[in-house]
Amino acid sequence: MAEPGLYLGLISGTSADGIDAAVCAFDAVSRADGNVHARSAMRVLAAKTFPYPQDVREAIVDLARSRASVTLDDYGRLDVRIGECFAAAALALLGEAGLRRGDIAAIGSHGQTVCHRPQGAYPFTLQIGDASVIAERTGILTVADFRRGDVAAGGQGAPLLPALHAAVLSDPVIPRAILNLGGIGNLTLLVPGRPVIGFDTGPANCLLDAWAASQRGAARDEGGAWARSGTLDHHLLARCLDDAYFAAAPPKSTGREVFNLDWLEARRPDGIAAADVQASLLALSARTIAQALRAHAPTVRELYACGGGVHNAALMDALRDELPGVRVDTTAALGLDPDFVEAAGFAWLARARLRGEPGNLPSVTGSRGPRMLGAIYRSAE
């Protein structure tokens, strides 16, 4: 039976190429209990990606670079401006779908990650996009700031979507993996009889996009055509694979503040052709994902991908080459549009918060226990 009220999820991922928005309906299910999330039936009723204005995207990318500095005035203005962009995306999607504000029980806004440092004496994660602005402009209750509650409880704050994957995409018999190919790749390992495991594997698209932008002025390498034109440089690949992050055990998470052009330049040999760098970065993404899957869930024979990287045919082919014997497909095969799994995930997390259910999985993030995630923002309407 369908629950009353719809939920609208909003996110801009590590690639910062736009705001994904999705309106979702849920069927009534039993409550989650502790570390076990009940199976849910979720339907995406409407979804669309809304590009950022170019200057906003450039400001986000600059801010996320490891050596970036920003004044408090600039940071505050960007926080509000991203909030305005998120609110506009939500209202535009409702208008295009013929829905009213009153149809939406809540917005779940991830915001825009600008820095993620879950290790150290004072671990933190920063997502901006003022949720008060979103609630005020839309007149819809908004749930935001999902990650910091998990970090405060000793967790990585990421990835959070394995809870959704377990609730919506798992199979009671077949071992599966769900792979998000955003700027950073992350895996959810759904093996019956075992706790859910999820972690960031390292770069998926972030280095590929950054190198394409720096060398060709393009936002991305469409379909991986440029990477296919190059030749793998084994020396560069080996130097990249030597980073300690790839051998570290989960729980672990990372971001653009680590894997960026500065990181690449520290490893790139002189004289290597630009296309060969791209080919090597594509091999790095596929190799590290495959190695992580083999190391932590060798019984998995089905891998379903989502995120923008599913449109990079060269990357998907590389994954199939790295994983013989594993079915590599997209979440469309499971009935969920691969472009909007993350947006749907934050609709799901908003719903969990309003139901008083935990949004994290301690087996994934390493937190001290299940926690309700997200703060609630209301307008005067």
Task: Find, among 289, 255, 336, the residue nearest to 187 by Cα.
Answer: 289
What residues in the chain have per-residue pLDDT under 50? 30-38
Task: Find, among 243, 284, 250, 248, the residue nearest to 266 by Cα.
Answer: 243
What is the domain range of residue 262?
171-334
289 shares a domain with 179:
yes
To the nearest 10°, the Cα dihedral for 251, 255, 260, 265? -20
**Position 120 in a domain:** yes
**Position 186 in a domain:** yes
362 shares a domain with 319:
no
Joined together, the tokens standing for residue 25 give 């309906």
**Position 1 in a domain:** no
181 shares a domain with 143:
no
218 shares a domain with 127:
no
pLDDT number for residue 35 = 40
276 shares a domain with 354:
no
Query: Structural domain tally of the chain?
Result: 2
**Position 166 in a domain:** no
* Run of H or E residues at 182: none
33 shares a domain with 132:
yes
349 shares a domain with 226:
no
**Position 317 in a domain:** yes
Give the angle 85-91-92 at the CA atoms, nearest 5°.
85
**Position 272 in a domain:** yes
Output the domain CATH number for residue 309. 3.30.420.40
Task: Determine contact, residues 343/356, Cβ cutoff 8 Å.
Answer: no
Report pLDDT digits (tens) over 38-53.
456 899 999 999 999 9
Torsion sign, CA atoms 291, 260, 17, 219: negative
277 shares a domain with 176:
yes
Joined together, the tokens standing for residue 55 give 């200057």
pLDDT number for residue 2 = 60
Task: Find, among 240, 288, 246, 244, the residue nearest to 266 by Cα.
Answer: 240
188 shares a domain with 136:
no
pLDDT number for residue 68 = 66
**Position 165 in a domain:** no
Residues in the chain: 381
182 shares a domain with 281:
yes
pLDDT number for residue 352 = 96
320 shares a domain with 187:
yes
pLDDT number for residue 282 = 98
262 shares a domain with 131:
no
pLDDT number for residue 203 = 97
pLDDT number for residue 70 = 84
* CA 330 to each of CA 38, 165, 177, 236, 363: distance values in angstroms, whole numbers, following the listed order: 23, 13, 11, 29, 25
**Position 72 in a domain:** yes
